[in-house]
Each structure stands twice: as structure tokens, then as C-alpha cells.
Amino acid sequence: MANIVRLYLERELPLPLARFYFTHRELPRAWGEPTVRVQIIITRRDVIDGLLGTAKAWGLRPVVAGVAVGTTGIAGNVLAVQAARWRPTTLSVVDRRLLQAGAVLGVLCALTVGVQNWRERVVVSRELAKVSELALSVSGKADALSRRVVPAQALARIVAAGDAADVLAELSERVPRDSWAYELSIDAPHSSVATVKMTGFAVTSAGLLEALQHAPRLTEVTLLNAMPEGPALTRVQVSAKAQTAAIRGTISSGADRSLAQGKGA
């Protein structure tokens, strides 16, 4: 009967029989019925092979593969599998020695890495301690320097402020010997410009003005009043602006240049 079914399928199927799996069974018949009825079950070979490959990939051992047939017809593909039994692997002496040597090397590598990390941490901790100590020292010196800078800055502001003594010294040098003052006011605020007002006597007001105008510290020299007091005497009143800090800076710069030239010589 199997050969008859095979011949029948090779004749009726439009595709080669090698691309299919098939089976058959004889259906029951009534007593004395001459006709033999056969049920043929056929399925695609690639579908069954795909199920078998999937089962083997999952570590399962296929037991039965086929097509489920019910009372109403074919229900679908059926694959019965069985879990593969685990078999302990037997290692040879060489394999065991190799595994032991690998384990020892792994432990030695781990110890080496741990010791190296510990040494690096110790070195880094020492360097950090040195840097922290240096930072504290620098911070202390910076605080001490800032405390010293404050008085120096205050002194610099005092030196840069207007000074009536400088203006008085300038007037003493520039006023001619035949002139004198009986009233002098110098307003020197905290700036580089002081206001000077002088009242006195001079032989000629023009000579006094010319002498004051040539003073490097005085600007805006103005004759406010001139009144003759006799044949050779005139009462005068003069006002001017005095550059205090600027002149001091110019004189200091000149002195510094002279000192530098002296050192160079």
C-alpha cells in the first residue's frame, strides 16, 4: 500500500515529492465492502525541518514530528520533544592542569592589580597632603600680605592727596625777594588740585605774576586786585591752582630716572 500511495502522489502532485513529508492510513470499511479507502496526510518538508532545527537549537531532542489529525480533519503540525539529558564532561589530566594554571594566574593578576591600586592611592594621598600644606602656607602668606597692603594703600592715598606744605614750599621758591605776603590761604582737598589765594605787597605786580606763572606746580595764575601803596610798592591779590599729586609724581619719576641712570653709569 505504501508504494501505491507513493506512485499516486508522484503522479498527482505538481511539485517533486522530495519537497514533502507524507503518511497514510486505511479508513475502516463495512463488512464485505470491496472499496479500500485511504487517508493521505502530506505536509511541506521545510516546515517540519524548521521545527526540528529550532528544537535542537534550544537543546531539545525531537521525538515525534508530524501532522495532527482530528475527527474534523487536519489540526496542524505537531512536534513532540524531550529535554536532552546532561552528561558530565570528563576532563583529561592536561585539561585539569591547564584549568588550575589559569586559576592561579587569575588570582596572581588580581593581587597584582590590587597592590598597584593601593600603592597609587598611597602616592596620591601623599601628594595631596603636600599640596594641601602648600596651599595653606600660600593662603597664610596671602592673608599676611593683604594685611600689609591695607596700610600701604592708605599711605599711598595720603601721599597722593593734596598737600598744602608742597604748595607753600613752591611759593617760597617762586615769590621774588622784593615781594611778600601777609595773608595766604591754600585749600588742598583730597585731590590733585589745590586752590591758592595770596594777598601781599610787591614792587611790580607784573614781576610777581611772571614769577608765579613760570612755576611748574601753579596753573591759572590770575591777578585779582592791584592797588598802589606808594611810589615803589603795590598791594596785590593773586589766585592760582596748584597741581599737588601730579607734580609730586613728575618729580618722583624724574628722580627715579636719575637714580636709574646713576646705577647704569
127-149 tens-digit pLDDT? 999 998 899 888 888 888 887 77
- Cβ atoms 202, 178 nearer than 8 A: yes
Q: How confident is the model at residue 123 (pLDDT cuts 50, 70, 90)?
A: very high
- Cβ atoms 232, 202 nearer than 8 A: no
Short-list 80, 13, 15, CA closest to 40: 13
Amino acid identity, position 185: S
User: Could you tell me whether strands 38-44 and 20-26 are parallel, antiparallel, or unpaired per DSSP bridges?
Assistant: antiparallel
Which one has a higher pLDDT value, 117 or 167?
Answer: 117
Rounded distance between C-alpha atoms, residue 195 and residue 186, angstroms? 6
- Cβ atoms 30, 40 nearer than 8 A: no
Query: Does the pLDDT value for residue 3 go beyond 80?
Result: yes
**83-89 — which CB contacts under 8 Å span 24+ positions?**
83/59, 84/59, 84/60
Short-list 199, 155, 158, CA closest to 179: 199
Rounded distance between C-alpha atoms, residue 249 and residue 180, angstroms? 29
Rounded distance between C-alpha atoms, residue 139 and residue 141, angstroms? 5
Q: Where in the chain does DSSP place strands (E)? A: 20-26, 38-44, 60-69, 74-83, 180-187, 193-202, 218-230, 233-243
pLDDT score recorded for residue 181: 84
Any idea what the Cα angle at residue 22 is, between residues 28 and 48, rounded to 5°? 130
CA 59, distance to chain mean position in Å, is 53
Q: How confident is the model at residue 174 (pLDDT cuts 50, 70, 90)?
A: confident
Q: What is the pTM of this model?
A: 0.33
Instruction: Count the helices and strands in the chain (H runs, E runs).
Output: 6, 8
pLDDT score recorded for residue 254: 38
> What does residue 66 show for φ and ψ, rounded to 5 degrees?
-175, -155
Q: Give the tens place of pLDDT for each residue, 152-169.
A: 776 666 555 556 677 777
Supply 231's cell numbers.
Answer: 611810589
Least confident of 119-123, 180-184, 233-237, 247-251: 247-251
Q: What share of the chain in percent tops pLDDT 70?
A: 74
